[in-house]
Amino acid sequence: MATRKDQEKAIRSAEEICRRAGARLTLLRRRVLELVLTSSRPPSAYEILDRLRPLDASATPAGVYRSLEFLADRGLVHRLESTKTFVACAMPDHAHPSQMLICRRCGTAVEAEDPRVASAAEKLGRRLGFALDRRTVELTGLCATCQD
């Protein structure tokens, strides 16, 4: 979970990224991003909705999903396909292939950007005749805390 200072920096960065793209970080989108940032582990859309409803009784699943799609399209969050959860992007200032290390016990997710992994995935795809359109690699195991 990010510190309050890190959260504020991430929100300012998100506002700037949206502004440069000619998009708006609406109140709902901002709240959804804040909830992802303040979660101790990657939340699902419905967990976000449950945490959002006390702040906005009119919040709907469709609104949360649209907000998450908007945030993902701008590289502000990543959808973890294996767990159907969301995590704030650690490097939203540039497009990048990423590797997500996900603890299968506690759900913690850590983002890495290792060009060697990205290169190996590209080479594998080409060798097997695949044109990759999603370059996020999800790796599961146990985090340092859960290994103890």
Kindly report, residue by residue over 115-136, the tens digit of the pLDDT. 999 999 999 999 999 998 888 8
* Predicted pLDDT at 1: 62
The amino acid sitting at 118 is A
| Residues carrying CATH 1.10.10.10, the chain | 4-88
- Tell me the average pLDDT across 86-104: 91
pLDDT of residue 6: 87
* Fold designation for 4-88: Arc Repressor Mutant, subunit A (1.10.10)
Q: What separation in angstroms does the CA of 1 have from each of 18, 19, 34, 36?
A: 23, 26, 11, 9
54-94 residue pLDDT tens: 999 999 999 999 999 999 999 999 999 999 999 999 889 88
pLDDT at 148: 84
Q: Which CATH superfamily is domain 99-147 in?
A: Ferric-uptake regulator, C-terminal dimerisarion domain (3.30.1490.190)
